[in-house]
Amino acid sequence: MTKRVLRLLSGALFTTIALVGTVLVGPASAATAPSALARTVYYSASGYSAEADQAAQIWNSSAPNVRMVRGGSATIRIYPTTGGGSRAYPCGLGCATIYIDSRDVAAGNSALRIVTHEIGHGLGLPDNYNGICSYLMSGGSAGTSCRNPYPNAQEASRVNQLFAGGYSTSVPKTDVYARG
């Protein structure tokens, strides 16, 4: 092949990779690779920053149709607070204002579990007060000994379903999800 043909082929390859956006989080597998139509949800954290980054990685590896990225025009915003309980104010799919109560963490609850749980509300999941630790959305009902920050298969599948096709036309939610 000529140098010109090689340059054209490599340029086409790089363009294809850029358009598809094949960013992998964790080991390469179908479960962790975002779909070509993954919807990017931007987040910011003025508190619990390390936990927010870990929670984003957890959601990215659990639900390939959503890709959480720090920065941009953040639609999920995380703030620290003292009092009032940890809570999320969803404003639509992929949108929420989240408050993480330092008293919940001081009481022995896992900060990472709380942040991942509250982000789950921003990704369209409701609370499930069944007390089972393997359900991320059981929240505080699982007790302070529960350290699990991962959504189970049903929760991850629901988020993936909500974000299928890249964009949602769902009606914005106005529910408040407070730690109970």
pLDDT score at 35? 54
Count of residues in the chain: 180
Is-catalytic flag, 118?
A: yes
Please give the single-letter amino acid code of residue 92.
G
Which one of the listed residues 118, 125, 140, 156 is annotated catalytic?
118
The CA distance from 94 to 66, in Å, is 9
Specify the residue for token string 């390469």: 28
Per-residue pLDDT tens for 20-75? 333 333 333 344 444 567 899 999 999 999 999 999 999 999 999 999 999 999 99
From the list 149, 143, 151, the residue with the least C-alpha distance to 109 is: 143
Q: How far is CA 43 from CA 13, 36, 73, 115, 148, in A?
A: 30, 20, 8, 12, 22
Is this prediction's pTM over 0.85?
no
β 95-101/87-92 pair status: antiparallel
